[in-house]
Amino acid sequence: MDVRQLRYFLTVAEEGQITSAAKKLHMEQPPLSRQMRLIEEELGVALFDRSGKRLRLTPAGERLRDRAAGLLRQLEETVAEVRELDEGVSGVLSVGAVVSCTSLLPGPLGRFRERYPNVSFKLSEGDHHLLGERLDRREIEIAVARLPFEAPGGAARYEIRPLPSDPIVALLPAGAGKAAGGAVQAQAGGSVHDGPAHSGPVHDGQAHDEPLHDGPVHSGSVHDGPAHSGPVYDEPAVSAGTEPLSLAELSAYPLVSLKTDRTVVMHETIMRAFADAELRPRVLCECASVAIALTLVAHGFGAALLPKSVMSTFPLAGIECRAIRDADLLSEVGLVWLKDRYLSRAARRFVALFDASDGQSGGGGLS
């Protein structure tokens, strides 16, 4: 059995059909079927259950699939590592990010390009689950995400490089902050004004092109890790009120909350901050999209508590940004990559760019 046969086997296992696997491998069906028979004869076991319309792996086939995938990955990493011994920093750096962190990338990517002009970039976005899958498939080497990283398999699988925390701010319809001391409710139409309240959250109920995983927000101290000095995040392109708002004032507004079936930590932590202050704000809308949440705020639907940096990604007019007076809420951010997985030289240099010794900060992203 050779590497070529293992690649054939993994493709057939993935496709579940010889016909589609042969098409994907750009070869004829009979030679591929013959290769599968040769592997089974060599091992002396059946790898596929051929009783149905689709090929299903037997227990022996599942074991070979898992081991073969690991072997081929190690081979690819070894080849890359050996080649890099005689090459400079070049190639393609693949980075993924949750949507709310995309505004943090331009600064570091710009500085990286200045230092390593022979490296190009491949960028993608997704929630924690999707980024975890892409890390597993080596479609990306590094993810920039809110922490903790809640991809399937658990956090123990990942190396985490903490970055400066992102402050949580209150975002309100422009001019609404003037009424913060009053009773502000939402009628059925969704606008912010006096009127009867309606119970229960409204869900957007649909998938979005910009999935968001905003990990927890934390009260008090920032994560352990190297200190960072100087400005880190761009100021949001929104009008800023002169006075911070208290949780009590914010609880008068109907809230638009970022929450999905798979990502609830930010929502729960914010709700816990209100509960600790013996307040019960009404969540008028739960949605999975930061863009939708900000659009609703801009149109007077309610208020939202979000990481400050998201306003650099979605600089909508009609939104007022206020600090929160009596709750030190922070959203932690970090670089994430798989443990025991070879990182290219470009990826290692990218991680090193974030060291405190780098001495640069501000200007469109993290230092």
* The CATH number of domain 163-332, selected from 3.30.360.10, 3.40.190.10, 3.40.50.2300, 3.50.50.60: 3.40.190.10
DSSP string, 156-190: GGEEEEEEEEEEEEEEEETTGGGGTTS--EE-TT-
The pLDDT tens digits of the residues spanning 84-115 come to: 565 667 788 999 999 889 988 999 999 999 99
Going from N- to C-terminal start, the domains of the chain cover 3-84, 91-161+333-358, 163-332
Is the Cα dihedral 275, 281, 286, 292 positive or negative?
Answer: negative
Q: How many H helices and E strands in the chain?
A: 11, 16
Burial (CB count <10 Å: 0-12, 13-18, 19+), residue 293: buried
* H or E stretch covering 106: helix 106-115
Domain 3-84 in CATH 3.40.1160.10? The answer is no
Q: Return the CATH fold of 91-161+333-358.
A: D-Maltodextrin-Binding Protein; domain 2 (3.40.190)
Nearest to 202 by CA among 252, 256, 280: 256
The pLDDT tens digits of the residues spanning 48-80 come to: 999 988 999 999 999 999 888 888 877 877 776
Query: In this structure, which amino acid lies at residue 107?
Result: G
Which string of b and e fits 243-259 if b means at least 16 CB within 10 Å?
Answer: eebbbbbbbbbbbbbbb
Q: Which residue has the tokens 């990559």?
A: 337
The pLDDT tens digits of the residues spanning 280-325 come to: 999 999 988 899 999 999 999 999 999 999 888 887 788 999 999 9
Cα dist from 120 to 35, 117, 327, 364, whole Å: 38, 8, 41, 19
Whether the domain at 3-84 and the domain at 163-332 fall into the same CATH topology: no
Alpha carbon distance 17, 160 (integer Å): 39
Helix (H, G, I), strand (E, B) or coil at 219: strand
